[in-house]
Amino acid sequence: MHRQNVGARAVHRQQEGERIRNSASLAQKFPELKALTVNLAYYNSDRVTKSTQFKYTVNLNNARSVFCFDCLNKECVRGDFDLSEELTNAVAAHRTTAAGEMSCQGWLSKDTIDTVHCHNILRYKLSLDYK
């Protein structure tokens, strides 16, 4: 019988996926929210080199209230960017925009667990519209 070796990154991805799937939709958690647009820009840890940028309009009925985005470092272990608190605070204060920067606190790779953090950067802007 073949037994698959599951790494720390895969375990983390599975756990995060379950946490996200088990959360309420954004429409359920924030019934006063009419629309949400997200602008994301990913940077390497040097804070200068932009690796990718995108903008999208969130489907509030399908998107989950655990509002996370993957770290783009494919070797990163236990990283990612969780904007759940930032979104919750923005809605609670009825703000129309929320912007900031987060540093990935995951490990750079499986070989650097407990020694070297990833520190990739996510710069975000949330644009919110209310009913």
CB-CB contact of 43 with 123 (8 Å): yes
Count structural domains, the chain: 1
The pLDDT value given to residue 111: 84
| Between 102 and 109, residue with greater pLDDT | 102
H/E stretch holding 98: strand 97-103
Task: List the domain range (segments joined by +) for residue 58.
Answer: 8-130
Confirm whether 2 is domain-assigned: no
pTM of the model: 0.81
Confirm whether 119 is domain-assigned: yes
CB-count exposure of residue 127 (10 Å: 0-12, 13-18, 19+): middle
Confirm whether 90 is domain-assigned: yes
Confirm whether 1 is domain-assigned: no
CB-CB contact of 69 with 81 (8 Å): yes
pLDDT in tens, 34-57: 999 999 999 988 877 888 999 999
Confirm whether 3 is domain-assigned: no
Confirm whether 82 is domain-assigned: yes
- Per the structure block, which two tokens stand in for 14? 């599975």
